[in-house]
Amino acid sequence: MTATLPRPVRPAGLRAGWLAGGVVAVLVALIAGLAFGSVSLPPGGVAIELLNLIPGVHLHSGLTEREVAILTELRLPRVVLGLLVGGLLALAGAAYQGVFRNPLADPHLLGVAAGAGLGVTAVIALRAGATGDATADLPIGVPVAAFAGALLAVALTWLLGAAGGRDRSPATLILAGVAVSSFLAAGQTYVMQQNVDTLREVYSWLLGRLATAGWHDVLIVLPYAVVTAVIVLAQRRELDVLTVGDEEASGLGLHPQRSRYLLIVAASLGTAAAVSVSGLIGFVGIVVPHIMRLLAGPSYRSILPLSVLFGGAFLALADLLARTAGGQAEIPIGVVTAFFGAPFFIVVLRRSRAGTS
């Protein structure tokens, strides 16, 4: 039986308003990320230079050649990568929360990021062993290794979380994720100890990094980001239906397990792509979807696109803080997101235990 899936009633004007707010947030993060840093640039001139990137547009921005080079060759790929990675992590977190019907689900808490990290670490070690150079650009195939590790991790977490019955309580699932994450982190440590010449690069990558971002990294993650976004956004109505339970979803003509597997694979692919170019950046996947849910309501038709926009803006602004707050010494971006995300996670955990989230 195939029935029409329910459409959650949302004020169209309110949803459009939040989407417009998300676009404004991305533009603000983009201009701020490009204008401020060790060398400050006038925001107006930055905006004009961005318009000059459009074919056929030639406007005078007032920036010197050196300032234009800083803008287009150093900062622009870094900010664009931050927008992509933040949007991917937030989108993956929202999808996991819908699939597992768990407000605490997050790529890091489910062990997905650790699995992707193990895959990337193994590739770095193998590349260093083959070429003798641990600092060269990562090969394009790195996201594939990260994807394999991410899928392994989420499968293990899913199986361990189901131990003792079909019901997966939020606490059980998170504990399973912590166990899987610890196990894979131990494997990662073992690989690092066996390849000491890669320790410095892997350690820098573990803390999260956009400092070395270039167009090479953007081109690596972009196709994976497009595929992930298309699949997850196309499943937004199915995510709404999954919230009512598998039996009710089946009665409405949905195949719950098929939709669930498709969303898990897509979210893991996006997480793996993000982790492979930026390292382990935590809490974006739990903080942003929760805030979007509080602001725009429980429908995933709103949460998913808003998570992409605000997740990207959040990480781009966090990166700006990371490279300006510490003076000459840049703070790892994973440290900045942890400062904001850890207190928020404690609040969400308390609300979840109280049954009010």
- Tokens coding 126: 């193998």
186 falls within a domain: no
132, pLDDT greater than 80: no
273 falls within a domain: yes
Query: What is the CATH classification number for the domain harbouring 293?
Result: 1.10.3470.10
Q: Residue 214 belongs to what domain range?
A: 19-107+194-342
Task: Tell me the mean pLDDT in the region 14-33.
Answer: 91
Structural domain tally of the chain?
Answer: 1
Task: Tell me the mean pLDDT in the region 237-253.
Answer: 82
Amino acid identity, residue 231?
I
Q: Is 327 left (phi over 0), alpha (psi -120 to 50) or beta?
A: left
80 falls within a domain: yes
Instruction: Calculate the average pLDDT of the chain.
Output: 83
For residue 96, what are the CA distances in angstroms to 1, 5, 82, 207, 310?
27, 21, 21, 23, 17
Q: Which of 195-209, 232-246, 302-316, 318-332 has the highest mean pLDDT?
A: 302-316
Higher pLDDT, 339 or 125: 339
Report the predicted TM-score, pTM, of the whole model to 2 decimal places: 0.84
Q: Is 124 exposed, middle or buried (0-12, 13-18, 19+ CB in 10 A)?
A: buried
Amino acid identity, residue 352?
S
Backbone angles phi, psi at 28, to 5 degrees: -65, -45
Task: Tell me the mean pLDDT in the region 27-54.
Answer: 93
Instruction: Give the rounded distance of the alpha carbon of 238 from its chain centre.
Output: 21
357 falls within a domain: no
138 falls within a domain: no
What is the model's pLDDT at position 247? 77
155 falls within a domain: no
pLDDT tens readout for residues 210-243: 777 888 889 888 998 999 999 999 999 889 888 8
Report d(CA 306, CA 292) in Å as an integer. Answer: 7
